[in-house]
Amino acid sequence: MVHEAVPKIELHCHLIGTLNAELLRRLETTGEQLLADPERLRPVGFEEGPQGFADWLVRVEHYKSADWRRYLPVLDQHMATLCRQGVVYAEMMISPTMFSRDLAEMVDQFAEFRERATACERGQVQVEFLFLIPRSLPDDLIDKDIARCVALAETGGICGISIAGLERDRPVTRFMRMFDALKDCGLGIEIHAGELGGPDEVAEALDVGRADRIGHGIAAFQDDRLIERLREENVHIEFCPTSNLKMGAVRDMACHPVGRARDLAMNFSINTDDPGAFDCDMASEFALVEQAFGFSKRDFAAIARNSMASRFAKKLRYPDSTYGCAAPDRPEVARVLTEC
Ligand SMILES: [Zn+2]
């Protein structure tokens, strides 16, 4: 398949969502104490929808409250998978609750987390982090999270935030002061919108959230004026095909807006969202769009360029290759991009 020769960039993946039975069994062989039972960790099925995903989260609930040290071996395993699939750059969402509530302690812990993550990159895949802020975050915790994000923006620990959670009845207006503060310190803003909600939520994410990137954005394609706005403002859309199918955001791949986005030369990426929960990986997602819409090498090269241009982290750690971060041992990848 043509996508195999093109480097992949992932901008929408939740670290907790990478957990699956195989990854846990690999951890077990290294002597790691598991917080979920691999035998019970079956992925979300196609007909299960949001309730199926909620049930999956219950199966990993002990990881929801686990601290950053627990996630290091998970991250290491997942990053090895990314390397195998030709992913050269990834931004991952993690929860601020993995770290101490004390600001100074959190900065120190994050520095250690970052150092270990950089070692896991193996010089092949650059991984950066976004703090995930749930839409349901109580008002009194918003200011605390602003302080945490600003502190880590100053040290280069995180490159942005993501607002996630079911959109209905949870307007992002509550986070306005957070958006202003984080924009001022150079952090990128991603908002999950238009996954299960309507086009209004995508417009709200742009108007109120000043979002640089929209997670999913499926509903935007019900509204031609909104599509035009996304094109004019060059807003990046993070598509997650299998997640969209399993959550019921689209009926089947033929209905997925990624084909139309390609036809309109829009700015978008292809992502897994929660590869463990949805039983997918970057290769499977690229294969899905290739099969459904006949994406060419040139289409995938455009996706790679747009995804890199829409990344939140400015600095590249492996800048020697033609592409800016393609691994030095993958010359075919750099060649494909210069040819397309
Ligand atoms: Zn997501």
pLDDT tens sequence across 281-291: 999 999 999 99
Residue 273 alpha carbon to ligand 1 centre in Å: 5
pLDDT score of 170 = 74
Report the C-alpha gap between 283 and 5 in whole angstroms. 11
186 conformational bin, left if phi > 0, alpha if psi -120 to 50, beta if neither: left
Pairing assessment for the beta strands 160-164 and 188-193 based on DSSP bridges: parallel
Q: Which residue has the tokens 């769009």?
A: 289
Single out the residue of 236, 210, 211 nearest to residue 302, CA to CA: 236
Neighbouring CB atoms inside 10 A of 198's CB total 15
Residues ≥6 apart with Cβ < 8 Å to 165? 134, 135, 136, 192
Report the C-alpha gap between 304 and 326 in whole angstroms. 11
Average pLDDT, the chain: 91
Neighbouring CB atoms inside 10 A of 161's CB total 26
Report the C-alpha gap between 149 and 165 in whole angstroms. 19
| Confidence band, pLDDT 50/70/90 cuts, at residue 328 | very low
DSSP 199-220: HHHHHHHHHTT--SEEEE-GGG
pLDDT score of 326 = 45
8 Å CB contact between 145 and 96: yes
Q: What are phi and psi of 228, to 5 degrees?
A: -60, -40
Report the C-alpha gap between 229 and 222 in whole angstroms. 13
pLDDT surpasses 90 at 130: yes
> In this predicted model, what pLDDT tens digit does every residue of 254-268 receive, in sequence order?
999 999 999 999 999
Catalytic annotation, residues: 195
pLDDT surpasses 50 at 66: yes
pLDDT score of 171 = 81
Report the C-alpha gap between 56 and 262 in whole angstroms. 32
Report the C-alpha gap between 131 and 263 in whole angstroms. 32
Residue 276 alpha carbon to ligand 1 centre in Å: 12
Single out the residue of 110, 147, 112, 142 nearest to residue 129, CA to CA: 110
Report the C-alpha gap between 150 and 203 in whole angstroms. 26
Report the C-alpha gap between 289 and 133 in whole angstroms. 29
pLDDT surpasses 90 at 318: no
Report the C-alpha gap between 249 and 193 in whole angstroms. 11
pLDDT surpasses 80 at 235: yes
Residue 335 alpha carbon to ligand 1 centre in Å: 32
Q: At what angle do helices 224-232 and 199-207 cross, to 10 degrees?
A: 30
> In this predicted model, what pLDDT tens digit does every residue of 147-176 receive, in sequence order?
999 999 999 999 999 999 875 667 889 999
Would you give the DSSP letter of residue 273?
B
Longest dimension (CA), the chain: 55
Q: Which residue has the tokens 């270990």?
A: 116
| Confidence band, pLDDT 50/70/90 cuts, at residue 4 | confident
Residue 192 alpha carbon to ligand 1 centre in Å: 7
Determine the distance from the C-alpha atom of residue 183 to the mean position of all C-alpha atoms in its chain, rounded to a whole number: 19
pLDDT score of 167 = 58
pLDDT surpasses 70 at 124: yes
Domains of the chain: 2-339 (3.20.20.140)
87: amino acid identity, one letter = V
Secondary structure element (H or E) that encloses residue 130, with its range: strand 126-134
Q: What are phi and psi of 94, to 5 degrees?
A: -130, 160
pLDDT surpasses 60 at 335: no
pLDDT score of 186 = 95
Per the model's pLDDT, the better-predicted residue between 337 and 77 turns out to be 77
Residue 340 alpha carbon to ligand 1 centre in Å: 30
Q: What are phi and psi of 134, to 5 degrees?
A: -70, 140
